[in-house]
Amino acid sequence: MDTIWLKDFLAVVSSGGFSRAADRRAISQAGLSRRIKCLEEWVGTPLFDRRTHSIELTAAGERLKPFAEEALRQLEAGREDARTAAQSAADTLRFASTQALSLSFFPQWLHRMKGTAPFMAAVQLTADIMISCQQRMIEGNVQFLLCHHHPKVPVGLPDQRFHSILLGHDVLVPVAKPSLAASGAGEPVPYLGYSATSWMGRILAAAWNETGQPPLPQPCFSSHLATALVTMARYGHGLAWSPLSLVANDIADGRLARIEGPLEEIPIEIRLFRPRARLTWTAERFWQRLTDMGGQDSRGPARVPQGEPGCAVAAGQT
């Protein structure tokens, strides 16, 4: 059944005749009659009483009329909703971010971006573990992926399909509660470690091995989330390696202290990945602004400024 048949049917009803309806529909009267015949064959019964000089609906036609009107109305509403949804999607910047950066870096970075180069697009942020962020990126559910990066650990996004821009620098630092750090001189401090599936854990292990350090100690507590390890460290449960961007305020306020000694900080990058395939106009324009700004956001450790206002985003944190 073609919706054109329904429009023809209603045009005949409202015009009161095939000739006037054909003029309205910009079709020959013979062509209009054939399409009405197709509709009647689809319904399975005549819709017009052709035994009279005036056009009258049969009982079947009377019953079909309100359904035809509602069907066309619903289809038009559905089309408009689809267009609106498409426009809304086109005007939305969709990010996936590791949880640590979604808290420590993304709000301030976006705030600076809007202050430097204002844009009207809505922003949607999904914070998750790295493997889930990678999957969202590969499946096309997001346009950008924000994550920490180390040259010894492949991101899992093929170079021929994705590329990235450097947004800033960070460092992995060992931290613990100040009292524990002070009392731990000469004594082993309990180790809070990353699980094997953790992205930050993979970076730490690769960088640790690169420097020829002995294996990392067996953790007394492990998690795939840097935020969980930092929270445990605040309560004095042990030493945790954390991005400085996540613990800068804790160190400044005295809740945590950097462990001094043979442990060296590990430089890491903050990168934003995107597909090489063309994105929406809004996303391409945003990316162009980033590249035009060059190294503006690459000015040393990405410390969270004290008291800097956040930015309202649609967060889909899992």
Token pair 């990678």: residue: 134
Of 70-74, 147-151, 272-276, where does mean pLDDT reach its minimum?
A: 70-74
Packed helices 281-293 and 106-116: angle between N→C axes, nearest 10 degrees: 90
pLDDT band at 212 (very low <50, low <70, confident <90, very high): confident
Domain ranges of the chain: 3-87, 92-315
pLDDT of residue 174: 93
Residues 6+ apart with CB under 8 A from 6: 39, 68, 71, 72
Provide mean pLDDT across the span 139-166: 92
pLDDT of residue 313: 32
Provide mean pLDDT across the span 110-132: 84
The C-alpha atoms of residue 157 and residue 154 are separated, in whole angstroms, by 8
pLDDT of residue 310: 30
pLDDT band at 304 (very low <50, low <70, confident <90, very high): very low
pLDDT of residue 80: 74
pLDDT of residue 186: 55
Does the domain formed by 3-87 have CATH 1.10.10.10? yes
CATH class of 92-315: alpha beta
Of 50-54, 171-175, 277-281, 305-309, where does mean pLDDT reach its minimum?
A: 305-309
Classify residue 139 by burial, with Cβ atoms within 10 Å: 0-12, 13-18, 19+: exposed
Residue 273 confidence (pLDDT) above 90: yes
Provide mean pLDDT across the span 270-281: 91
Provide mean pLDDT across the span 219-243: 94
pLDDT band at 1 (very low <50, low <70, confident <90, very high): low
Identical topology for domains 3-87 and 92-315: no
Provide mean pLDDT across the span 100-124: 85
Provide mean pLDDT across the span 76-97: 78
More confident residue, 50 or 225: 225
Which of 225, 199, 216 shows the shortest CA–CA distance to 147? 199
